[in-house]
Amino acid sequence: MNILLINYEYPPIGAGASNATFNMAKSIVELGHTPIVVTSAYKEWKGRSTEDGIIVYRIPAGRKYQDHSGILQMMYFLISCLIRIRKITKQEKIDKSIAFFTIPCGPISWYLKRKYGIPYIVSLRGGDVPGTEPKLDKIHKMLYPLRKIIFRNSCRIIANSKGLASLSEKIDPFPVHVIPNGVDCNFFETKKYSLNKNPEILLLFVGRFQAQKNLTTLIREFAKTSDVMRNLRILLVGNGPLKESIFQLIDDLKIQGQVDWVDWQDKKSLAHIYKSADVFINPSLYEGMPNTVMEAMASGLPVIASDIFGNNDLVVDGVTGRLFSLDSNQELLKSILELAGSFEKREKMGNAGRKRVQENFSWLKVTEDYVNILKEAQG
Half-sphere exposure of 178 (CA within 13 A, CB side): 16
- The confidence score (pLDDT) of residue 326 equals 96
3-state secondary structure of 222: helix
Q: What is the DSSP letter of 262?
A: E
Q: What is the mean pLDDT of residues 170-183?
A: 92
Pairing verdict, β 2-6 and 156-159? unpaired
Nearest-angstrom CA–CA distance, 81 and 32: 26
Using one digit for the tens of pLDDT, what is the confidence trace for 237-259? 999 999 999 999 999 999 999 99
Domains of the chain: 2-182+363-376 (3.40.50.2000), 201-360 (3.40.50.2000)
363: left (phi over 0), alpha (psi -120 to 50) or beta: alpha
3-state secondary structure of 127: coil
Cβ-based burial of 192 (10 A; exposed 0-12, middle 13-18, buried ≥19): exposed
Q: Which residues pair with 352 in a beta bridge?
A: none
Asked whether the CA dihedral 78, 81, 86, 90 is positive or negative, the reply is negative
Strand order in the sheet with 96-100: 47-51, 54-59, 34-40, 2-6, 96-100, 120-124, 156-159, 177-178
Nearest-angstrom CA–CA distance, 287 and 367: 20
- The confidence score (pLDDT) of residue 266 equals 86
Nearest Cα residue to 237 out of 200, 199, 258, 266: 266
Using one digit for the tens of pLDDT, what is the confidence trace for 139-174? 878 888 999 999 999 999 999 888 889 999 998 989
Q: What is the mean pLDDT of residues 34-55?
A: 95
Q: What is the DSSP letter of 17?
A: H
3-state secondary structure of 50: strand
Nearest-angstrom CA–CA distance, 239 and 68: 9
Residue 195 pLDDT level (bands cut at 50, 70, 90): low
Instruction: Indicate the pTM of the whole model.
Output: 0.76
Nearest-angstrom CA–CA distance, 167 and 122: 15
Residue 302 pLDDT level (bands cut at 50, 70, 90): very high
Please state, as a whole number, how many other Cβ atoms lie within 10 Å of the Cβ of residue 212: 18
Nearest-angstrom CA–CA distance, 36 and 286: 30
